[in-house]
Structure 1
Amino acid sequence: MVHLSSVGLAVAASGLLQTVTAAPQVTTDSASTASTTSFLGGLFDFLDVANLTVTHHNGKLYGCKCSPGQLCWPQQSKWNQLNNTVGGNLKLHIPPAASCYNTFTGPLGTVNTYDAAACADVHANWEDEMWNVEKPGAALWTYFTNETCRPTLNPTDSCTLGYYGVYVITATTRNHIKAGIDFARRNNIRLVIRNTGHDFIGRSTGAGSLIINTHSFQDVQWISSYAGPGSYSGPAVTIAAGVIVTGECPTVGVAGGFIQGGGHGPWTTLKGLSADNVLAFEAITASGHFVTANEAQNSDLFWALKGGGPSAFAVILSVTMKTFNDVSSAGATFYVNNTHIGFDNDAYWNATTIFHKWSNHFVDNGLYVYYELFPFTLRAQPFVAIGKTVAELNAIVAPMLAELTANGIPYEWNPKSFPTFFDLYIDLFEPEAAGGSALTGGWLFDHNDVATNNDGIIEAFKTVFSPRPDIFSFIVGHLFNPGYGAPVSNSATHPSWRNATDFVITVLPVPLGASKAVKADYQNVLTNTIDQALRDASGSGATYVNEADPYQPNWQGHFWGSEYPRLKQIRKKWDPLGVFYSIATPGTEDWEVIQDTRLCRKL
């Protein structure tokens, strides 16, 4: 069977709901409220939804979610009532590093927070992914928190909430999740669904929000023969929302944003995207109803949840998926770096060109390859050959190695055999470091791109490395083909994935303490220089929903292609008033964050 890792992780408790020491500062908005449409009947009953608050900003009219300090913000008695409803699991959200500061100043007041032992723990574990996963609302990568409470050695420094949510429910029952959705809908509060915090583009946090943490849902039920609906009758597994499954990264919660983004990993070339292998969902809708979604029930929602975008259509409680027998596998590491070529720039780019030239060949032979490109470093760890021997892997890779040798480029190639893929994963895959601050972009190169414009792709990679003299970024690449063996897509993912070869992530580190102007400059460089070079070198028109620039032009088409119009209509059906929100997901064209913190819809 498919192996699961880290089953049973629980979210660490964050203490009792705390009383702040300073009264909130109240500001008033326009007294009028935006009119909303009432949706009647069963699953689509939105009669209790609160109206958006009308706001004028830069000469435009907006309907906004309620923010702390406004008259519309719920009184403490309402929050206390919610806390009772969720069994005492509602907490003020305090950033993980607050224990290193004398005080934390949030939008509701000031709390004494310094704790020497807890602060030492923060410094020791700030870059540890699993440590961050176990926090109730932490983001593993912190750029979209606004970096206003990072670890410090000076307790008198300032620690504020930044763009983190205000309150968090550490949900332990499905009714806790429902209570949070209902509260947000009835009180016009921005809602954030947070599972593990594995999120590159800020969808797991949001200013002024109520966070619902689903990570404590750890049930796993194995099914020997799935009974339908649908034609599949093989082995399956039902995975609750908080279970972490070994993908490429060890902190991915499969029954959430991973599936809703499509889901790629080492098995993708052989079995398609994870979304292609879903059989059913249990979920909670924006109207607070529990639903089953499969081929026969709520089939439109079923399709949309399979790759249609995270936190857009419903909150997933569990997912039922096909499983496949684990098999003996071969893996390898491959390096060309300055220990082999020194600082010979031509040799480095020649090696990279040759490596990437063979990428179609790799995926057409069933391989998956995870690689990184830094100056003078080409690092592929690992090559993955599921169900193959070392001899078979060596034979597939031999033409590339021969071409490197013919061009006088030294390299390191280290193949190994493993009794199972799980053993390969434990040995060759590496954890990522949390706590970094960076912008993320990326693009998909398909078979035709590699076959006809490999040199152009490499030129684009050079632009990524040095978009201008004062800025450096790097590349994380994934060679896989969800269309290997011509599987038929049954998910909402972009059609271009069926001819994929290489999905690259571009990572642009942002200086800590950067001003708004500097951040805007870096975002412009990412969108219009770095990723534009990749777009210009490709005809795929596609990129990955969860690991790409959400501010890119035409994100709708680039994320979903021809599937987007249908997704937008389904969103209008299941969440017509925007109870759920995450950036660059179907139906969010008219929503934006104004005044740095207020989530608003253009009227």
Structure 2
Amino acid sequence: MRRGQKCTLTATGGIRNDTCFQGTVPDYYVDAQSVEDIQKSLQFAQQYKLPVTVKNTGHDYRGGSAGVNTFAIWTHNFAPDPVITENFTPDECPSPVGPVVTYHAGQIGTHLYNSLQGTGYMIVAGSCPSVGPSGGWIAGAGHGIFTPSFGLGVDNVQQMKVVLPNGTYVTANRCQNKDIFFALRGGGGGTFGVVTETTTKLHPDQEYSYAFVQLPVPDVRTANEVLVANAERWSEEGWGGVYGVLDVAGSPNLVWLGYNANLNLDEGKASLKPVTDYLKSLPGSEHLITDFRTLPNQFTAQNDPALLSILLPEAGVSLTRSSRLVPKKNFQTADGQKALVDALMANKFGWGAVIASPTNYTLAESDQPGGPGESSVSPAWRDSVWHLTYTTTWDPADPDATSPEALASMFQEMSEAMDPIRAITPGAGAYQNEADVYEPDPIGSFWGEKNYARLLTIKKQLDPDNLLSCWNCIGWNVNDERHECYLNVRGIGPSN
């Protein structure tokens, strides 16, 4: 954008006779389909000091899988069929860890769920079917609709294999290369190496309680109060999914979509009675959508039409968002709830609370801080109820909406919209995979000072030339040429 070069095309706008420039799209790609392909690519980049970006599906709201004048390693086609091992022993570890599935760099969620259908197992992976679980998803923490009961993605990983920036191929787990294992599980994608293979825990599949509720609401504040008042209880009861007050066809709607591995159907209905009673009391309640069911397995849950209708419209859309992990303490007093409702009312974007914190998961002793399986995600994940998000979109074919001035104003407004929430959640964090592009405190929000210091040391050891880097990544340089298309917002961005 600082070059003044843009291509205001849209998927629905038809063919246009325009000149398009390269923008942030890398100049060269390697279609890496093996470990050897990745090793040779990184050795080539080392030889010629080429900045490297790594891309699987490219599902990255902050642009980490692209960069100006970069050499891209594309792993999307490195995706042999996943392999189940019934009683897996990680390399150089003394004992087995139980059933696991091993999948490679290019695997995406939909293929992984398909491969597990009918096996009697389920897995913690992303909700969106296009997400690559072996890539940025796991590197940023990894949440999904079942993380409240089964933990974050980083908690379930048993072993990873990675090509380091110098081309060395190593195995990392709780018994060897522990610093690398720590860094790959939360340190951010495209930073420490190119992950080729991930082995993660399998859980017995089961039935799940399902709830979908939706109705336009005339009084947004009351709707917010109902949702905030019940949030901590819903989290403790094991609900995963999303709810909030969202704009639907120009009208504020209360939307509640949840999945529960702990409650049966009658218990699930009782759990949501405060919100259904509220909606039934409203004018127009004859249009209330309520769908309570028992789903037979994870495959059915991950392919739920309501879930996909929320997630899939984001594909190929120009959007930005800001987010915050909201701690339990903000829900535990009347004053705290009021402050949270006031902050929600201060934004104009509508809001969604992704309930994906590991609230019902007990972190293994080995993975506690200081243990061999410690991950580098923000400690805020362990004490949060909501991953709160605000989102806005724009038409990429609208020259007014895509001017540098308009975009800078929009990104600034979106970032600042989360400030009232940041003000009442000091010391909390954010999910880096769905974070504000111009997050004012990336170190504190994504990792915490202690984790960041360790990550920076590991980064300097593994990649002293900083060949692998991206926006707001560990050890990044804001004035690196690969970031020059970013705007300067809130004083964060390339120097003019």
Q: Which residue of the partner structure matches residue 280 of structure 1?
A: 159
Give the deviation of 1:248 after TM superposition. Answer: 1.2
2:200 pairs with 1:328: no
Match of 2:273 among 398, 402, 413: 398
Q: Which residue of the partner structure matches residue 329 of structure 2?
A: 448
Alpha-carbon separation, structure 1, partners of 2:452 and 2:190: 16
Q: Deviations over 1:286-331 (max 9, x none)?
A: 1111111112221100111011111111110001111111101110
Q: Which residue of the partner structure matches residue 432 of structure 1?
A: 312
Q: Note the 1:84-233 alignment, pairs <5 A.
A: 147-151=7-11, 152-219=13-80, 220-228=82-90, 229=93, 233=97
Give the deviation of 1:216 after TM superposition. Answer: 1.1
Q: Which residue of the partner structure matches residue 419 of structure 1?
A: 296
Match of 2:378 among 471, 488, 494: 494
Alpha-carbon separation, structure 2, partners of 1:330 and 1:359: 18
Alpha-carbon separation, structure 1, partners of 2:53 and 2:64: 8
Amino acid at match of 2:352: V
Q: Kindly indicate whether the alpha-carbon contact (under 8 Å) linking 1:208 and 1:597 is maintained by their aligned counterparts in 2.
A: no
When structure 1 is superposed on structure 2, of 321-330 and 454-463 the one drifting more is 454-463
> So what's the TM-score if we normalise by structure 1?
0.69
Give the deviation of 1:146 after TM superposition. Answer: 5.1
Q: Which residue of the partner structure matches residue 471 of structure 2?
A: 583
Alpha-carbon separation, structure 2, partners of 1:275 and 1:515: 39
> So what's the TM-score if we normalise by structure 2?
0.83
Q: Which residue of the partner structure matches residue 371 of structure 2?
A: none
Alpha-carbon separation, structure 2, partners of 1:422 and 1:157: 43
Q: Note the 1:448-527 alignment, pairs <5 A.
A: 448-452=329-333, 453-465=336-348, 473-488=349-364, 489=367, 490-510=374-394, 512=396, 513=399, 514-527=402-415
Give the deviation of 1:185 after TM superposition. Answer: 2.1
Match of 2:422 among 535, 544, 564: 535
Amino acid at match of 1:432: L
Q: Which residue of the partner structure matches residue 99 of structure 1?
A: none
Amino acid at match of 1:502: W
Alpha-carbon separation, structure 2, partners of 1:523 and 1:170: 33
Match of 2:173 among 273, 286, 294: 294
Q: Which residue of the partner structure matches residue 240 of structure 1?
A: 104
Q: Kindly indicate whether the alpha-carbon contact (under 8 Å) linking 2:237 and 2:262 is maintained by their aligned counterparts in 1.
A: no
Amino acid at match of 1:360: E
- RCO higher in structure (CA 8 A, sep ≥6): 2
Amino acid at match of 1:504: L
Q: Kindly indicate whether the alpha-carbon contact (under 8 Å) linking 1:371 and 1:378 is maintained by their aligned counterparts in 2.
A: no
Amino acid at match of 1:357: A
Give the deviation of 1:485 after TM superposition. Answer: 4.2
2:188 pairs with 1:309: yes
Q: Deviations over 1:197-250 (max 9, x none)?
A: 111111111111122110112221111001132665210111111111252111
Alpha-carbon separation, structure 1, partners of 2:94 and 2:359: 21
Alpha-carbon separation, structure 2, partners of 1:224 and 1:594: 44
Alpha-carbon separation, structure 2, partners of 1:455 and 1:258: 33
Q: Which residue of the partner structure matches residue 224 of structure 2?
A: 352
Q: Which residue of the partner structure matches residue 560 of structure 1?
A: 447
3-state SS, counterpart of residue 307 of structure 1: coil
Q: Note the 1:9-48 alignment, pairs <5 A.
A: none
Alpha-carbon separation, structure 1, partners of 2:318 and 2:72: 21
Q: Deviations over 1:325-379 (max 9, x none)?
A: 1101110101121xxx4xx3xx232122202321111110111131253244334
Alpha-carbon separation, structure 2, partners of 1:525 and 1:593: 26
Give the deviation of 1:150 after TM superposition. Answer: 4.1
Q: Kindly indicate whether the alpha-carbon contact (under 8 Å) linking 1:480 and 1:500 is maintained by their aligned counterparts in 2.
A: no
Q: Which residue of the partner structure matches residue 573 of structure 1?
A: 461
Amino acid at match of 2:138: I
Q: Deviations over 1:50-95 (max 9, x none)?
A: xxxxxxxxxxxxxxxxxxxxxxxxxxxxxxxxxxxxxxxxxxxxxx
Change in Cα spacing, 1:596 to 1:539, as seen in structure 2 (3 Å) is closer
Q: Which residue of the partner structure matches residue 489 of structure 2?
A: none
3-state SS, counterpart of residue 47 of structure 2: helix
Question: What are structure 1's unaligned runs of at least 5 residues?
Answer: 1-106, 108-144, 466-472
3-state SS, counterpart of residue 209 of structure 2: strand
3-state SS, counterpart of residue 264 of structure 1: coil
Alpha-carbon separation, structure 1, partners of 2:332 and 2:483: 47
Q: Which residue of the partner structure matches residue 117 of structure 1?
A: none
Amino acid at match of 2:328: H
When structure 1 is superposed on structure 2, of 437-446 and 359-368 the one drifting more is 437-446
3-state SS, counterpart of residue 346 of structure 2: helix
Alpha-carbon separation, structure 2, partners of 1:407 and 1:446: 31
Task: Determine which structure has more spread, i.e. the larger CA radius of gyration.
Answer: 1
Alpha-carbon separation, structure 1, partners of 2:445 and 2:429: 4
Match of 2:233 among 361, 380, 402: 361
Change in Cα spacing, 1:302 to 1:161, as seen in structure 2 (3 Å) is same
Change in Cα spacing, 1:436 to 1:396, as seen in structure 2 (3 Å) is same
Amino acid at match of 1:506: Y
Q: Deviations over 1:554-589 (max 9, x none)?
A: 211111113111111111111121010111121115
Q: Deviations over 1:494-541 (max 9, x none)?
A: 1111111110222132453322222222222222x2121221232452
Q: How many pairs align?
A: 443
Q: Which residue of the partner structure matches residue 432 of structure 2?
A: 545
Give the deviation of 1:419 after TM superposition. Answer: 1.4
Alpha-carbon separation, structure 1, partners of 2:361 and 2:209: 20
